[in-house]
Amino acid sequence: MPVPEPAVPFVLAVVGPTATGKSDLAVRLALELDGEVVNADASQLYRGMDVGTAKLSVDERRGVPHHLLDVLDVRQEASVAAYQRAARELFDDVQARRRVPVLVGGSGLYIRAALDRLEFPGTDPVIRARLETEAADVGSAVMHDRLRAADPVAAEAILPTNTRRIVRALEVVELTGRAFSATMPSHEYGRAAVQIGLALPREEVDARIERRVDAMFDAGLVGEVERLAAEGLRERRTASRAVGYAQVVAYLDGVCSLDEARADTVRATKKLARRQERWFRRDRRIHWVDAGPRAFDQSLAVLRSLRP
């Protein structure tokens, strides 16, 4: 049974942990709904980061237009605020052509920035540089304690090991005089949207991750990282710290063996999947379906149930 054209435009988002099949499902739904895919994976914004991000090939996209892939080089820093502007402009463009934007990815903050009412405070490079220097001197744990004293809500939401977000939160507090948590996204859509979440038992996610990492190394991940290193991968934190890339850089720098890099990539990817699961499970608006053969039909059933 087809899904009728909605009475009002909406954005369809496909979310969930890594290795659950989001990209493939997004393509199938876009074909069904006359849609276009908008990427929400921070690492897939980068040109050349293909093997290690499981970026779909042109053939795998099956003729569906894909947006916000390959828009940065590895010397550039990804910005959630810039992504938000670009994604929302794309939503307007796609919907103006009476097509459905299909947002897909596992970068939770990027999903929320695109869909929800969320404003980004400005930045101050002097304050940011000073806080980064302090973090390098005293460590992220001390900076996290400082954040907890200034903004307990933000400290609860940010891992003590996430130096970058800790520094950003402290920068906002100092710059605005307001709690960083006041700027964090609420679960309130800025436009009509439906989110489909792909769910799998943890042991199956882990098995998929192990197979995917093996396939990435076999498909030339080391060579990809070598090429990107020559293009400046090490010069910026966002790209160089992506899971898989950071581990291969360590191997290329002689810090670990290739087998150790592969094993560390598996461990880091599993940790990432658990963080993604926790992030998305907090959002009660997500309609969860079983990842696998039934995901497409279950997703269409969700959309039929929500039609006016």
**pLDDT score for 184:** 66
Coil, helix or strand for 67? strand
Distance CA 245, CA 212 (A): 14
Q: What's the whole-number average pLDDT of the chain?
A: 92
State how far the alpha carbon of 237 is from the alpha carbons of 54, 97, 181, 240, 242, in Å: 20, 37, 24, 5, 9
Domain 125-183, classified CATH 1.10.3720.10, yes or no: no
- Of 121, 51, 116, nearest to 87 by C-alpha is 116
Look at residue 6 and tell me whether its pLDDT is greater than 90: no
Give the chain's radius of gyration (CA, Å): 20
| Average pLDDT of the segment spanning 261-267 | 98
- Which tokens sit at 19? 């290795």
CATH architecture of 11-119+188-200+285-306: 3-Layer(aba) Sandwich (3.40)
| Average pLDDT of the segment spanning 243-272 | 97
Write down the CATH number for the domain with range 203-275.
Answer: 1.10.287.890
160-196 pLDDT tens trace: 888 988 998 899 888 888 877 766 667 889 999 999 9
**pLDDT score for 266:** 98
pLDDT-wise least confident of 31-45, 172-186, 262-276: 172-186
**pLDDT score for 94:** 97
DSSP letters, 6-57, are: PSS--EEEEE-STTS-HHHHHHHHHHHHTEEEEE--GGGGBTT--GGGTPPP
**pLDDT score for 51:** 98
**pLDDT score for 308:** 55
Look at residue 211 and tell me whether its pLDDT is greater than 60: yes
Sign for the pseudo-dihedral over CA of 28, 31, 32, 33 = positive
How far is residue 286 CA from its own chain's centroid? Answer: 16
In the chain, what percentage of residues exceed pLDDT 70?
A: 95
**pLDDT score for 120:** 76
| Average pLDDT of the segment spanning 234-256 | 92
- Which tokens sit at 282? 């907090």
- Of 4, 47, 25, nearest to 239 by C-alpha is 47
Which contacts of 277-285 are long-range, i.e. CB under 8 A and separated by 24 or more positions?
Answer: 277/16, 277/17, 277/202, 279/108, 280/15, 280/16, 280/17, 280/108, 280/197, 283/187, 283/195, 284/187, 285/187, 285/189, 285/195
**pLDDT score for 5:** 52
Look at residue 7 and tell me whether its pLDDT is greater than 60: no
In which band, very low, low, confident or very high, does the pLDDT at 35 lie, cut at 50, 70 and 90? very high
Look at residue 40 and tell me whether its pLDDT is greater than 80: yes
**pLDDT score for 3:** 52
88-117 pLDDT tens trace: 999 999 999 999 999 999 999 899 999 998
| Average pLDDT of the segment spanning 43-65 | 97
Other Cβ atoms less than 10 A from the Cβ of 277: the count is 20
Look at residue 139 and tell me whether its pLDDT is greater than 80: yes
Domain 125-183 matches domain 203-275 at the CATH topology level? no
List the domain boundaries for the chain.
11-119+188-200+285-306, 125-183, 203-275
Residue labelled with tokens 């005089």? 177
**pLDDT score for 4:** 46
Look at residue 54 and tell me whether its pLDDT is greater than 50: yes
| Average pLDDT of the segment spanning 240-262 | 96
